[in-house]
């Protein structure tokens, strides 16, 4: 049987609300709501998120939480089909049909951990977080990186002194939808405008200055980097950071330090075998268990 290598990404999920009198709801509860809706009919899970039509194509309750398939409907026209050197023909869609992109996932309620089959043509972290947000609640997906580096970067007193970034130009314009940061829009425009295959960028503050405004890159840069990683193919993302109070300097590699896994999955023609994909996603959890314990802490400590 033919196989194909797929990459799996790890996210820590948080569901919160700003309403004072709202009932408690965590991400497990958000999945449970979707599971109940799916049992009543798949159409009940269809949502429009950021102008994208998203739904559950499958969801199953497990002893650890849930596993399923997220689908995103694309309204693009199909390309033509052809034999090399032969005639071409259209592959029309019916009036009410769309192209469907799918990605498999497993959700573990013990850590509120979501492991997703990487498919950049389906949903990114922003879209999926919004889809998993019930009314009056917000679900955030946080990429899991090396715990010490994550805590350091999240410190409000830690500033970015310099950044070295290498980005490959995406070939599919579908990957460039819903870009929010001007920083990333500028990068995309430069890649497309020059038709460059990749771009190397270096950003530096004025290391000789004692003025934080001049010494460090703007604080919004941290947020832009997260979207950059989820949207484009980032080959390198090396930061030099500094604690503005202590002066301690610390380098961070946001590409190699991010938790991910890859494995070969059995294929049914052009598409992955769903059950083998779920099995490999579950195996990814076991393969990365030491890193997950380091990130989340021992379960007994969390439940104490």
Q: How many helices (H) and strands (E) does the chain have?
A: 9, 15
Cβ contact 118:77 at 8 Å = no
DSSP state of 195: T
Q: Report the mean per-residue pLDDT for the chain.
A: 86
Instruction: Look at residues 148, 142, 151, 138 and name the one whose alpha carbon lies nearest to residue 111.
Output: 142
Instruction: Look at residues 96, 103, 60, 99 and name the one whose alpha carbon lies nearest to residue 78.
Output: 99
pLDDT of residue 79: 77
Question: At 303, is the pLDDT very low, low, confident or very high (cuts 50, 70, 90)?
Answer: very low
Q: Which residue has the higher pLDDT, 41 or 224?
A: 41
Q: Judging by DSSP bridges, how do beta strands 52-61 and 65-74 pair with one another?
A: antiparallel
The 10s digit of each residue's pLDDT in 233-286 is 788 888 999 998 888 898 888 877 778 899 999 999 889 999 999 999 999 999
pLDDT of residue 300: 64
Per cent of the chain over pLDDT 70 is 93
Cβ contact 286:33 at 8 Å = no
The 10s digit of each residue's pLDDT in 154-181 is 788 899 999 999 887 765 555 555 566 6
Q: Report the 10 Å Cβ neighbour count for 31.
A: 25
| Per-domain residue ranges of the chain | 3-144+259-303, 147-253
Instruction: Give backbone dihedrals phi and psi of 23, rounded to 5 degrees, phi first.
Output: -70, 145
């Amino acid at each position: 049987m033919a196989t194909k290598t797929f990459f799996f990404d790890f996210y820590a999920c948080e569901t919160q609300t700003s309403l004072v009198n709202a009932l408690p709801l965590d991400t497990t509860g958000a999945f449970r709501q979707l599971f109940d809706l799916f049992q009543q009919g798949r159409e009940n899970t269809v949502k429009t998120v950021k102008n994208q039509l998203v739904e559950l194509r499958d969801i199953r309750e497990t002893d650890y939480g849930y596993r399923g398939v997220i689908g995103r409907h694309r309204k693009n026209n199909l390309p033509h089909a052809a034999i090399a050197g032969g005639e071409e023909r259209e592959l029309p869609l019916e009036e009410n049909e769309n192209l469907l992109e799918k990605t498999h996932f497993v959700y573990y309620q013990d850590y509120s951990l979501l492991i997703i089959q990487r498919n950049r043509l389906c949903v990114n972290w922003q879209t999926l977080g919004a889809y998993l947000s019930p009314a009056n609640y917000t679900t955030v997906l946080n990429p899991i990186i090396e715990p010490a580096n994550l805590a350091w970067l999240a410190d409000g007193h830690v500033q970015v002194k310099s950044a070295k970034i290498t980005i490959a130009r995406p070939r599919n314009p579908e990957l460039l939808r819903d870009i929010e940061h001007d920083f990333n829009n500028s990068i995309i425009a430069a890649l497309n405008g020059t038709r460059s295959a990749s771009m190397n960028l270096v950003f530096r503050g004025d290391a000789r200055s004692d003025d934080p405004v001049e010494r460090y890159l703007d604080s919004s840069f941290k947020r832009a980097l997260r979207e950059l990683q989820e949207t484009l193919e980032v080959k390198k993302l090396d930061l030099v950071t500094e604690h503005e109070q202590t002066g301690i300097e610390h380098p961070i590699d946001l590409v190699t330090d991010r938790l991910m896994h890859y494995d070969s999955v059995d294929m049914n023609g052009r598409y992955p075998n769903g059950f083998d994909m779920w099995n490999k996603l579950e195996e990814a959890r076991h393969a990365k268990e030491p890193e997950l314990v380091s990130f989340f802490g021992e379960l007994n400590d969390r439940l104490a």
